[in-house]
Amino acid sequence: MPSFDPNVPLRFAVIGCGSVARAQHIPNIAASPRMVLQSCIDLDDAILSECRDRFGARHIGHDWHDAIADPEVDVICLATTEKLRLPVIEAAARAGKPVYVEKPLATTLQEMHNIQSVVHATDIPFCVGHNRRASPAMLAAHNLFRDHMTHPQRSPWRWQREASLPPLPDDGVPSIAVRINDDWHSWKGWVFDKTQAPHGPMLFEMTHFTDVCNWFLADEPVEVTAVATGMLNEAVIVRYQSGALATILLGNNGTFAYCKELYELMGNGGYLAIDHMLEVRTAGMEGAPDRLTFPMISDRHPQIGLEGGVSGWLAKKRAACSEAALANDPMLQFTAEPDKGHAHALELFADQIYGLGPEVCGVDAAVLATEVAFAAIRSAHEHRPVSIDEIRSGAHS
């Protein structure tokens, strides 16, 4: 396996330069002093011209094989649809090149486990784009909650009604509730194409949130129960080995005028909320700050909502929505977005490649999150609880 000098920038090839890549990965690579946008690969010539002219890609082309074979390319950023994953990862692994790949890892369990086998066999640095793990708000919240779970301190004011209470096996065991407010009118056309997205948001969106639950609870998921009334309203309950529970609600008939993501965690007599990756609030967690706020990205209204956090963001959002309505331009509603960790994930992956930091979101974590999502898909379809063991055995049968 090649070693990389931390003093020399990593040369990236981006394979698949669609909207996600051009909104996040390509500009983030181009802006980083530790990375070089060496090559962009796509089938669309207009997109390739944009990669060269706007973002400064040194080389552009149509054939991903060329990028992997190029000795001037150190790292592969794979941002194609999940229809093209395994062949690229296999070729990169044979060449000893680290891979950052968008989620979901694959559209089938078999292909996902094949990718896992390739990564294990070659031991290449590998990162899956569950970028919430790299969001500053999520990282701060994770550190606070895991410290509370491993070193709990009882609040001196916690009320115990009876002098002696019976021991309970799930005393202190954590739970997490995830609420997603989305508006399906914003979705791209491929979402509705069964050849592109055969499982809908229960896979391409759900894996973000199953990964967050696994990460925060630090436990082994055992069983999943899910209900879906179509593509737009989906609810999932995950039971973990310790008895911990995760509940995830995807509400896709919502509005961008309000915060998209709310995470609420409880355990050991404490509470923690992460609101839209803008604000972290705690209660009953001795020594933890009551409230933390985090910077926003691309703020066109710095003079509004100076208090920051959720209330500050809502003030900025209201101003932006008014501008969008007056100009008849819906894109103007987007301002002061939360930092979801896209750029940080690449920087942390660079640390991993250089040997300066830990794994960011490795193949095993991504496989586990995807197995939970596939269990939810089956549960919703068959109207019954589905175990993770059943999903694993079915993938290898």
CATH code for the domain in which residue 239 is found:
3.30.360.10
Residue percentage of the chain with pLDDT more than 70: 99
Do 316 and 307 meet the contact criterion of CB atoms below 8 Å apart? no
Residues 266 and 242 in one domain: yes
DSSP 22: I
Tokens of 146: 């895991």
Residues 103 and 143 in one domain: no
Residues 251 and 375 in one domain: yes
> Where does the chain have alpha helices with state H?
19-20, 26-31, 45-53, 64-69, 86-94, 109-122, 136-150, 201-204, 206-217, 309-327, 342-354, 363-382, 388-396
Q: Please count the structural domains in the chain.
A: 2
**Is the confidence at residue 395, as pLDDT, over 80?**
no
For the stretch 3-15, pLDDT in tens is 899 999 999 999 9
Q: What is the mean pLDDT of the chain?
A: 95
Residue 216 lies inside a defined structural domain of this protein: yes
Residues 99 and 148 in one domain: no
Domain that holds residue 287: 133-153+170-341+371-382
Tokens of 317: 């959002």
For the stretch 138-187, pLDDT in tens is 999 999 999 999 999 999 999 999 989 999 999 999 999 999 999 999 99
Q: Which helix (H) or strand (E) holds 76?
A: strand 75-78
Residues 293 and 219 in one domain: yes
Q: Strand locations in 120-260, DSSP E?
A: 126-128, 175-181, 221-228, 233-240, 245-251
> What is the rounded distance in angstroms from the CA atom of residue 312 to the CA atom of residue 319?
11
Locate tokens 């694959």: which residue? 106
Find out whether the peptide bond into 385 is cis, omega within 30 degrees of 0: no
